[in-house]
Structure 1
Amino acid sequence: MEFDFSWLLLGLPVAFVLGWLASRVDLRQLRIENRQAPKAYFKGLNFLLNEQQDKAIDAFIEAVQNDPDTSELHFALGNLFRRRGEYERAVRVHEHLLSRADLSQVDRDRAQHALALDFLKAGLLDRAEDALRRLEGTAHEGQARLALLAIYERSREWANAAAIASKLDESGTASFSIRQAHYLCEQAATQLAAGHETQAIALLETAVQTAPQAPRPRMDLSSLLLVQGHGQQAWEHLRTLAQANPATLPLFARALLTAGKACGEVDAARALLLHSYQAMPSLDVLEALIESGAVPPDGTSGGASGSASAAQAEPRDWYARHLEREPSLVAAARWIASEKFEHEQFHPQVQRALDHAARPLLRYRCAACGFEAQQRFWQCPGCQAWDSYPPQRVEEL
C-alpha cells in the first residue's frame, strides 16, 4: 500500500494555523496575567499606605498567585505577616523562599535573616539562634550578632553574650567594653551565689580591667572585699572610682564611708563626700555626710568641716541647708521629723502624710522607657537597656 503525500501537504497548513491560534491564546493569557499582577501589587501597596493590612495581605497573596516567582512580593508578604503577629505564616513564606533553587545568594541571605526575625518575634529562641548563626560571613552578620546578643542576655547566658560582644567590639560596630564588664559581674554574682568567692573576685577584677571607669565592677568588688575584711583594698577601689567618675558617687556614697571607716580613712571619705555634694547636691550623698558626722559648711563657700566639731553636727542642720539649695520634699519631710511643734499631737499624722507623698520621689527612673523602681537596676527590667538609670533619684532629675 502506497502512502498518499497529498494528505501531508494538506495537514501542514492546518497544523500551522492551529499553532498560530494557540500562540495567540497564550499571548493573550500572558498579557492578562501581566496586567493583573501589577494591578494586584499596586492595590496591595495602596492598602498598605492606608494602613489596611488585611486588604494589603489579600492583594499581595493574589499577586503571588499570579506570579509565584516574584521574590520581592514574598518578602513583603512575610514582613506583613510578622508585623501582624502571624508568625507561623511568615515562617512558611520565608521557608518557601529558601527552598527555591533559583534564588540568588543575596536574596537567600535576606530570607534567612527574615526567617530568624520571625523566630525571634515568635519567642522561639533556639530556632532563632540557629537561624542567626547561619548569617555569619554575610551582609547581615552585624544585625545577626546584635540579635544573638539580645537572645543571650534574655536567657542570661552571659558567657555566650560576652563572646558575641567581643566579636562586635573587634568588628568596630561599637564599644562593648562596659557591656562586657556587666557580663563579668553577672557571672561573678552566679559564682558568689554558689559560694565560689575566689572565682567571683577574679571575674570582678577582670571586669575592672575591662572597664576601669564603670561603677559596677568596683562597687561589686569592694562590697565583696569588705565582707572578707579587706577594707583597705575596698577603699582604694571606691576612692579611685570617685575620682575617675564623680557623677556616680551617689550610687556608692554609703559604701565609700563604710570602707573609709574600715581602714581608718573617715576624714578622707568625708572630704570626698563633701566635695561631691558641693558640686552636685544629692540626697544619697547628703545621707552619707550626716552618717559621717560632718558639719555643714558655712554658706556656700565650700569650707570643709573640721573633725573636732563633727560630734556637734545635727541632721536637721544638713536638711535645712539642703533646702536652701534644692526645693526637696524628701529633705523637708526629714527636717520636719526632727522638729517640735506647738500641736505636737498632730505631728505623727502630718509626718506620715509627708513620707507617703515623698516616697515616689525616692524612686529611680529609666531614661530610656520611664520604668520606675525603688531600687536602681543596671539593666532596666522594662526595656532591657543597660545603664539607663541615672545616679539621681526621681526628685533630683
Structure 2
Amino acid sequence: MDFETWWLVFVPILFALGWVAARVDFRQMMSETRTLPDSYFKGLNFLLNEEPDRAIDAFVEVAKLDPETTELHFALGSLFRRRGEMERAIRVHQSLLSRADLPVADRENAQFQIAQDFLKAGMLDRAEAAFEAVRETRFAIPAMRALIRIYESEHDWPRAIEAVRRLRALVDEPVPQLVHYQCEQAEGALQGKQPDFERAAKALDEADNAIRKLGTGQGMYASQARVAGLRARVARMQGQNEQERAYLVSILSSAPEYVGLYATELLDSYRKLGRGEEGVAMLRSHYQQHPSLDIFNVLFRVLREQEGHLQAWAFARDALRAHPSLLGLDKMLEVELQDQGQSKEGAEGAEAVGVDQIIAGADLSLLRSLIHRHTQRLDRYSCSSCGFEARHFYWQCPGCNSWETYAPRRLEELK
C-alpha cells in the first residue's frame, strides 16, 4: 500500500493526546498523594531506616484515620501475629469483621486470619470454630490442616482421623501421621482394667490400610514397626505367645533398624515358648548386620545371666572392637556392678574368678563413674526436626509435635 503524506497530520495530534493523558495521570497521582496522611509517609520512612516498631505505630495511626484501608489492616494483623502481639492482631482482624460493608473475599480472609491468631494464642476452642467457618471457602485446605494440628494437640484422635479424610477429599496428598492416629487409638483401647481388643484390632487394621496407601519410604518402616509392636502387645495380653513372637519377628525384616526397641519383648516371647537359646542366637545374628546399642545391652545382660561372665565379656569385647561405644561400655559395667552387688554375700566361685581374669585388679565402680559422667549427654534420642533431646524414644516429638523424627538410635550412634 502506498504511503500518503497527509497521514503525517495525525503525528502531532497523537503526541498531544499522549501529553494530555500523562498530565492527567500525574495530576491524579499528586491528588491521591496529597490525600494520604502524613503518618503513612512516616511509616515508610521508618521502614527504610529499619525501625519496624515506629513504623508499625505510624501505620496504626493511618488505619485509625482511614478505616477503609483494608490491605493495611491485614498487613498490620500479620505483623502483630509474627511479633507475638496476639491481642493486637485479634483486635485488628475483629475490627475488619465488624464492618458490614466488607466484601465477601475480604471477610473470608479476615476470618481465616483471626483463626490463625487464636491458634497461635493457644485459644484452641475459638481457633477451631474460626477454622470451621472457612471450610467452604478458598481457605478450606489450610483450614483443614490447622484443624488436624488442633485435634492432635488435644489428642482427639477420632476427630483428627476424620479431619484427615476431609483433607484427602480436597487434595490428593499422603498424610503419614494417619497411621499413628490409628495406633494411638489402639493404645487407648488397650489401657484400663478392661481392654477393648476388638476396637484395638480394628484400629490396627486401619493403620495397615494407611501404610499400604503410603507406599515405600523410610516412614513406612517406622509405621510397620509400631503396628507390629502393638499387635504383639495385643497377642501378649490375650496369652497368644506364638502370635506375639511372630509379630515381633516380622520387625526384623520389615523394619530392622527398630528391632532394638523391641529386643527385650522379643527374647521374652521366645522364653515363654521354651526357645530362649534360639531367640538369643537370632538376635545375635541380627546384631551382626544391624548393630544397635539397645540390642547390645539386651544381649550382654542375657548372656551374663545364662552363660556367665566369660561368654558375656567375650561378646562385649568383639562387639565394642567392631563398634566402639562408650555408652555400651557404660551399660556393660552397670550390669556387672549390679550383679556383683547381688552376689557379694554368696560364695566366691568360678564366676567371680572369671571377672578377675578378664580385668585383674580393676576398680569397676571407679571406671564406671568416670565413663558415666561423659556418657550421660550421649544417652538420649534426638529429634531431627527441632533437636529436642529425650531419654525415651517417642513416635511424636514432645518439642515440635512432628511424627517419626526420632531415629531409633541414641546420639552417640548418630555421630
TM above 0.5: yes
> Which residue in 2 is equivalent to 1:306?
none
User: 1:226-249: per-residue Cα shift (whole Å, max 9, x none)?
Assistant: 132111111222222321222222
The residue correspondences of 1:202-281 to structure 2 (distance < 5 A) are 202-211=202-211, 213=221, 214=223, 215-263=225-273, 266=276, 269-270=279-280, 272-281=282-291
- SS at the partner of 2:36? helix
The 1:342–1:311 alpha-carbon spacing in structure 2 relative to 1, beyond 3 Å, is closer
For the structure 1 residues 99 and 283, does the alpha-carbon distance in structure 2 shift closer, same or farther, using more than 3 Å as the test?
same
Which residue of 2 is the match for residue 12 of structure 1?
none
Q: 1:316 aligned to 2:333?
A: no
Aligned ranges 1:151-190 → 2 under 5 Å: 151-172=150-171, 174-176=173-175, 178-190=176-188
What is the CA distance between 1:342 and its match in structure 2?
A: 4.9
Residues 31 and 200 (structure 1), Cα distance of their counterparts in 2 relative to 1, 3 Å cut = same
* Mean Cα deviation higher: 38-47 or 325-334: 38-47
Look up the match of 1:349.
366
- The answer (yes or no) to whether the contact 1:232–1:262 under 8 Å persists in 2 is no
Kindly tell me the number of residue pairs found equivalent between the two proteins: 353
Question: By how many angstroms is 1:183 displaced?
Answer: 1.6
Distance in structure 1 (CA, Å) of the matches to 2:209 and 2:307: 37
2:406 aligned partner: 389
Change over 3 Å in CA distance of 1:250–1:110 after alignment to 2: same
1:302-313 equivalence runs, <5 A: none
Deviation at 1:47, TM superposition (A): 3.3
Structure 2, unaligned stretches of length 5 or more? 1-26, 213-220, 337-354
Residues 67, 201 of structure 1: alpha-carbon distance in 2 compared, 3 angstrom cutoff: same
Contact 1:47 1:53 in 2 (8 A): yes
Q: Cα offset for 1:151? A: 1.0
State the alpha-carbon separation in 2 of the partners of residues 45 and 267 from structure 1: 77
Aligned twin of 1:73: 72
C-alpha contact (below 8 Å) 2:300/2:332 kept by paired residues: no
Secondary structure at the aligned position of 2:230 is classed as helix
- The alpha carbon displacement at 1:343 in A equals 4.1
| Paired amino acid for 1:151 | I
Of 385, 397, 400 in structure 2, the residue corresponding to residue 380 of structure 1 is 397
Structure 1 gaps, min length 5: 1-27, 295-308
What is the CA distance between 1:42 and its match in structure 2? 4.9
Going from structure 1 to structure 2, the CA distance change for 1:110 and 1:180 (only over 3 Å counts) comes to same
Q: Aligned-pair distance for 1:252?
A: 1.5
The 2-side partners of 1:189 and 1:242 are apart by 22
Structure 2 Cα separation of the partners of residues 342 and 256 of structure 1: 35
Q: Report if the CA contact (8 A) 1:82-1:90 is conserved.
A: yes
Q: 1:334 to 1:291 in 2, by over 3 A?
A: closer
Letter in 1 for 2:241: G
Tell me the CA shift for residue 258 of structure 1. Answer: 2.1
| Corresponding residue of 1:15 | none
Query: What percent of counterpart residues are identical?
Result: 38
Q: Residue type of the partner of 1:184?
A: Q
* Alpha-carbon distance between aligned partners in 2 of 1:125 and 1:336, rounded to the nearest angstrom: 49
SS in 1 for 2:377: helix
Whether the aligned pair in 2 keeps the contact of 1:205 and 1:217 (CA below 8 Å) is no
Shift, 1:163, TM fit: 0.8
331-340 or 160-169, which deviates more: 331-340
| Alpha-carbon separation, structure 2, partners of 1:50 and 1:234 | 68
Partners of 1:327 and 1:392 lie apart in 2 by 15
**Aligned: 1:193 with 2:210:** no
Q: Is the 8 A contact 2:86 2:121 kept in 1?
A: yes
Give the C-alpha shift of residue 46 in structure 1: 4.8
How far does residue 196 in structure 1 lie from its aligned partner after superposition?
2.6
Aligned to 2:378: 361
Between the aligned partners of 2:96 and 2:291, the Cα distance in structure 1 is 60
Question: In the superposition, relative to structure 1, how do residues 136 and 334 fare at CA in structure 2: closer, same or farther (>3 Å)?
Answer: closer
Identify the residue that residue 115 of structure 2 maps to in structure 1: 116
Instruction: For residue 63 of structure 1, give the secondary structure of its aligned residue in structure 2.
Output: helix
Q: Shift in Å at residue 312 of structure 1?
A: 9.3
C-alpha separation between the residues in 2 aligned to 1:273 and 1:156? 36
Judging changes above 3 Å, is the alpha-carbon distance between structure 1 residues 371 and 42 closer, same or farther for their aligned structure 2 residues?
same
Identify if the C-alpha distance between structure 1 residues 49 and 257 changes in structure 2 by more than 3 Å, giving closer, same or farther. Answer: farther
Q: Tell me how large the CA RMSD over aligned residues is.
A: 3.0
Aligned pairs (5 A) from 1:38-53: 40-48=39-47, 52-53=51-52
Change (3 A) 1:42 1:387: farther
Kindly provide the CA deviation profile for residues 292-330 of structure 1, in whole angstroms up to 9, marking residues without a partner as x: 649xxxxxxxxxxxxxx9789722122211221222112
Please identify, of 261-270 and 347-356, the stretch whose mean Cα deviation from structure 2 is larger. 261-270
Distance 1:283 1:130 in 2: 47
On the 8 A contact 1:320/1:335 being kept in 2, the answer is no
CA deviation after TM superposition for structure 1 residue 111, in Å: 1.1
Q: Does 1:285 align with 2:282?
A: no
Residue correspondence of structure 1 range 8-47 to structure 2 within 5 A? 34-35=33-34, 37=36, 40-47=39-46
Equivalent position of 1:136 in the other structure = 135
Q: How far, CA to CA, are the matches of 1:272 and 1:207 in structure 2?
A: 28
What is the one-letter code of the residue matched to 1:211? I
Q: TM-score, normalised by structure 2?
A: 0.75
